[in-house]
Amino acid sequence: MFHRTHLLAGAVLLLGAASLSGQGVRVPATVDTLPNGLRIIVHEDQSSPIVTVNTWFDVGSANEKPGRTGLAHLFEHLMFMGSEHAPYPQFDRLLEAAGANNNASTSNDVTDYYEAGPVHALPLMFWLDADRMGWFLPVMDAKKVDAQRDIVKNERRQSVENQPYGLVEDYEPGMLFPPGHPYSWPVIGSMADLSAASLEDVRDFFRRYYAPDNAVIAVAGAVKRDSVIKLVKKYFGAIPRGPGAPKLVPSQPRLTADTMVTLEDRVQVPQLTYDFETVRAWDPDDVTLDVASFLLTGAKSSRLTQRLVYIDQSAGSVYASANNQHVAGYFGIVAQARPGHNLPELQTAIDAELQRLAKDGPSAREMEQARNSMESRILGGMETVMGKARLLNQYYIELGTPDGFQKDIDRLRAVTAADVQRVVRQYLLGPRVVISVVPTGKAATPGVAAQRRSVP
């Protein structure tokens, strides 16, 4: 999955305005705040006449309420439906005519939007973003909400109901997190909640979370900070502050016993999902858990990949990930069986490898490979102005400073084999969520789950 060679010296040649100084890798950036609370991060990179505008709103599915889930993702669609001075479909048409592109994404924690293209399109990007931030509500009506609601429902059908193993996305959050926890529902929401969302729900959500004081704009490319700030003041300065969005309090629950379920689905081979509750982003243990995930499945030589895919040949694929988010975190392992193999076989092998890693710890060679490959991944995210803009926003939201690149590298380099051994013992040997997905009609096959649910 990742390159094994240490790429620090070579990768820095690709980083544009990023520098390798006595303090390490740096991406120089300024942070300014308008009177209305809008924060602007500017990174100057004159290596190519392009620019990226990356806007993060501090709102995701975690900010929703039970019974009204899916609003954050619905807004990702609604924000492209036109504003007072740029009616639909002018947002896309004007950017395309200028040679630029755009997109958006929603997570548990944030919703981000970007535009990327030639630097001469920067005023247009700002004008379009400002118009939908400040003049969205006057043209938002029930017809537009209903149209995008139907599109999101269809997206849910494609990614959950009709996607092989997609049902896991519905069950996993509620099994990991107790009712009412901000992560206890899927990002895309439920069909019932999407149907229940009213025009007034949409308007209230916008007023609370799409205000300038709940947004951060990162601009990276062939720009000058003073010119950017002048444009931002021109286009965004008149937008009033919002009422103040409530901040979520970190809450990391702990499972007290295994929670298990078997789901029937229209699949050819069974799949096993393990989830362990761990820590939230930037906890001292989060990077160590990330290293553990690499040691398990990050390369062809990683432990679970070698054992299940190449030696036992019991799995067609296996993947581990440390999901460290703003409120809480979990560690996941997903393995799909090969034809002729079953989930108890996978479970036995996974348990054995976790026990072995906890008992003996990783070797020096494994640790070197993990650190080098993961450092290369950090540096790879800095190769483009789009990648830097996104990371500047992420570091600022999570750390309060945009240039967190060297801090990320430093904490990775500090992880020891003993640290990995400790976190595996502490987090990956205890109670877990176990989700078994089996072909329709095969729930009676001996498996790992104590409870069976047949899902149409």
Dist CA 76 CA 291 (whole Å): 32
Please, are residues 419 and 410 in contact by the beta-carbon 8 Å criterion? no
Closest to 125 in 3D by CA, of 48, 205, 55, 38: 55
Catalytic residues: 76
Q: Indicate the Cα dihedral angle 278, 396, 52, 247, nearest 10°.
A: 70
Q: Is 184 helix (H, G, I), strand (E, B) or coil?
A: coil
Ramachandran assignment for 238, one of left (phi > 0), alpha (psi -120 to 50 degrees), beta (any other): alpha
Q: What are phi and psi of 80, to 5 degrees?
A: -105, 10
Q: d(Cα 456, Cα 162) in Å, to the nearest integer? A: 10
Distance, CA of 367 to CA of 372 (rounded, Å) = 8
In angstroms, the first-to-last Cα distance of the chain is: 35
Could you identify the residue written with the tokens 């581990």?
Answer: 320
Q: How far apart are CA 133 and CA 304, in angstroms?
A: 47
